[in-house]
Structure 1
Amino acid sequence: MSLKKHVILITGAGGGVGSAAAITLAQAGAHVILLDKSIPRLEKTYDAIIAIGAPTPIMYPFDLAGATENDYQELANRIEFNYGALQGLLHCAVEFVAFTPMALLDTKDWGHSLNVNLNAPFLLTRVLLPVLQKSKTASIVFTSDSAVRVAQAYTGAYGVCKIALEALAKILAEELESSNKIRVNVLIPGPVDSPLRNRAFPGEDKAELPPVTSLASTFLYLFGDASIGITGQTIDARTLHL
């Protein structure tokens, strides 16, 4: 599958799932824009993409929690100026510390989690919609979590954000469906050996988990021609047969 001439922005591109997605999509020919607050992690993903001879990516250090609306708009303006259009947006950035009872969750942690896990995807998607609409077809993917996508005890602000994020995606998909240009879906990676999984379940036997690279075919499906016309869906990588 070729993604040549595709420009795809990936948040959390220095993390486990985000980095794996960036490398996979770049290897398929896409020009990826790597967004993350950590420059060392961005550089690691950048170097991995260069090492496989894929198109040179763009690193864009960006703090989703601390950015203003003007910062988001400036990012959208730069993408439109440099590329004219955007063919893909993958939300992988995540803020998670630990499972916490609501009674012990302080206001600062609650607000920070909402900023990164819910407000940021909304703001970024909103400012990039005009750039995505300039493409013949485009794909927006929100990443959720199989461990918290239903209301469960101790999932705290992280769980609330993921449940709300899935609702946001479905509402947006319905609003954009009539234009038949931008598809919006939710990705459930399932348990994979990633830094997030390690923080959430530190005692788990990681040898039994599939690597993040096992998601490669799912990323290619979501941003390739095979998923054109598929929108408003929650796609679980564990049950997707390609």
Structure 2
Amino acid sequence: MPLTNQVILITGAGGGLGSTAALELAKHGAHIVLLDKNIAKLEAVYDAIMNVNAVSEPVMYPFDLAGANENEYQELADKIEQKYGSLQGILHSAVEFSAFSPVATHKTKDWGHTLNVNLNAPFLLCRVLLPVLQKSAHASIVFTTDSFVRKAPAYAGAYGVSLIALEGFAKILADEHEAFGKIRVNTLIPGPVDSPLRKRAYPAEDKGKLPSMKSLAPIYLYLFGSESIGVTGQAIDARTFYL
């Protein structure tokens, strides 16, 4: 299996895209660290992985990205290093979205919470886990963004601001590590897919016309597999992705 001996941490592992990626990567041999604050959802993904006879048992790590302090982030990194010695991948799939709304009525609490989950948490995770990633011959960091907010449309609010900034952060991080050739950093743009987030954002849309979340499986395998070694600083759009 192409991902055997690869340890990959997935945030938002209980969500639609996170669980889809976790199952697909596990089926191809990866050892998955499932990170989510919802324990029931973590258990469901854990069971799904075990039911497909994955090579290795996943690890559930209940974690509140918005509520955790810096010491708790560092503790997570320390535990991963102690258990595995190194880390080969991080998929930032956790996302906070409440509703599209005008800036004039955006609540301060919602603004801060959204930026904490969508932007600050990826920064903190990368900062504490970079030393663990650097112990691998090759490692992949993948951020997840949204095609809709890339043009900074009206009413995108904190959701839009955080994901626009996240894509910029990904490019900065990729540029910092490109010369070393060990850690590649890319952004995945899933495009419209039949996901739980899409249902909340566009409740009146006919979801039967959208691609399924499973359609993203080849992209996840590519981004964490050997074929993408050397590919860094890219925004990869699922709608135009071809192997």
Aligned 1:51-66 pairs, distance under 5 A = 51-54=51-54, 55-66=56-67
In structure 2, distance between residues paired with 1:217 and 1:59: 24
Whether 1:212 and 2:213 are equivalent positions in the alignment is: yes
Q: Aligned letter for 1:212?
A: M
Q: What SS does the aligned partner of 1:184 have?
A: strand
Aligned residue runs from structure 1 range 1-242, under 5 A: 2-54=2-54, 55-242=56-243
Give the match's secondary structure for 1:183: strand
Query: How far is 1:82 from its partner?
Result: 0.1
SS in structure 2 opposite 1:149? helix
- Give the share of equivalent positions with the same residue, in percent: 69
Shift in Å, 1:238? 1.2
Q: 1:23 offset after TM fit, Å?
A: 0.2
Deviation per residue, 1:130-156 (Å, 9 max, x gap): 000000000000000011122110000
2:212 alignment partner AA: P
Moved over 3 A (4+): none
1:21 maps to a residue whose letter is A
> Which one-letter code corresponds to 2:17 in the other structure?
V
Q: Deviations over 1:35-77 (max 9, x none)?
A: 0000011111111000000021000000001000000000000
Distance (whole Å) between structure 2 residues aligned to residue 226 and residue 188 of structure 1: 19
Shift of 1:2: 1.2
Q: Secondary structure at the match of 2:140?
A: strand
Whole-angstrom distance in 2 between the partners of 1:105 and 1:24: 37
* Unaligned stretches of 5+ residues in structure 2: none
- Give the secondary-structure state (helix, strand or coil) at the position aligned to 2:232: coil
Name the CA distance, whole Å, in 2 between partners of 1:191 and 1:35: 24
Q: What is the TM-score with the length of structure 2 in the denominator?
A: 0.99
* Amino acid of the structure 2 residue aligned with 1:14: G
Q: Which amino acid aligns with 1:157?
A: A
Output the CA distance in 2 between the equivalents of 1:40 and 1:211.
23
Give 1:237 shift. 1.1
Unaligned runs of 5+ in 1: none
Alignment size in residue pairs = 242
